[in-house]
Amino acid sequence: MTANKPTIGIDASRALSTAPTGTEGYSYHLIRVLLPQLDAQYRTQLYFRSTPEPDAFPGAELRIITFPRMWTHARLSWEMARHAPDLLFVPAHVLPLVRPTRTLVTIHDLGYRYFPEAHPRRQRLYLDWSTRWNARVASHILADSCATRDALVREYGIAASKITVAYPGYNSDLAPVRDARALAAVQTRYAIPGPYILFIGRLQPRKNLVRLIEAFARLAPDRPSLSLVLAGPAGWLAEPIHTRVRELGLEGRVLFPGYIADTDKAALLSGAQVFAYPSLYEGFGFPALEAQACGVPLLASTTSSLPEVVGDGGLLVDPLDTSAIAAGLARLLDDAMLRRTLVALGSANLRRFAWESTARTVLTVIENLLDNPSV
């Protein structure tokens, strides 16, 4: 019986993706772990733009509401006007214009405020408007990190008491791959000829890949068999990244295998000499934890949330200093003791991050919102 239970609505439209990136993965994993915790107390409705796989989200009522454009502000708003839940949770996008009294939203980062040149103008303006509006009208906000919480307070004047930091989990199925045949097979599949430094993420300016390429160029002459593998889908302004490779004469040394299938990720990570993540800005930084889970020495940035997330399990460098990136890569390639130490610390660091813990925090926030009659 669910008739007397409060209804929790969740925008699950970002949970379905054939090539998920950080926010899509966050939505998928959090919803799946959250549903059993909600089941005893609440009636849960998930709103989708397309039909998920059977039994992908057990314990929830599925509302498939197709619409060609403006899905959130037009079609989901219409759904809210007709059948509003007691609380709406949006884990990976923006609240609809029409919404129930109680709302919870996750804001992942404010990178467009700090590196506006890394976004198309129209996208940047929309992100600024939607995030500012989202933060102001939501009953409560979840932030992936203290860095994102502090940015919301600083940039938009949001009260810190309105924001709860809920660290995401990571894919705990990832683990070091030691089978030499599996490691060789994934290198063959992605045409990687020998030892390699690895980056995984969307190829876009915010990831600082031009400086990473320039740092690699300083190492390449003394390490003729080493490759730099930049894996992931192309984002906006990806072409200057390819152009810099050609300018430096690194064709064949810097490789672009594209999106990496989940089934190949652990082996590709495990086979890398170093995982390089010198991003300019991250609200969280899932790839850094994935590298730690696979036992790869990690180089990351001293900026935004990365020191907070990486902990002691990575070598941190100034992402604006190409010399520092090159020196950090060289240290990790040459210092076996440092690599072992960072891998051990990275493995210990992972204990701080679990989707079950994220879901418990979200459930507590939901309970507090529903129990607060002033909202």
* 211-250 residue pLDDT tens: 999 999 999 999 999 999 999 999 888 999 999 999 999 9
**Residue whose C-alpha is closest to residue 100's, from 125, 68, 76, 131:** 76
- pTM for the predicted model, two decimal places: 0.92
The pLDDT score that the predictor gives to residue 67 is: 86
Q: Which domains does the chain have, with CATH numbers?
A: 7-169+354-371 (3.40.50.2000), 180-352 (3.40.50.2000)
**Helix H or strand E segment including 54:** none
Residue 200, pLDDT above cutoff 70:
yes
| 27-59 residue pLDDT tens | 999 999 999 999 889 999 999 999 998 888 998
Note whether 366 and 104 are within 8 A (CB).
yes
Is the pLDDT at 120 greater than 50? The verdict is yes
Q: What is the pLDDT of residues 297-345, one digit of tens each?
A: 999 999 999 999 999 999 999 999 999 999 999 999 999 999 999 999 9
Give the span between the Cα atoms of 53 and 18, in whole angstroms. Answer: 12
H or E element, residue 7: strand 7-11
For residue 1, the model assigns a pLDDT of 39
pLDDT at 21 over 80: no
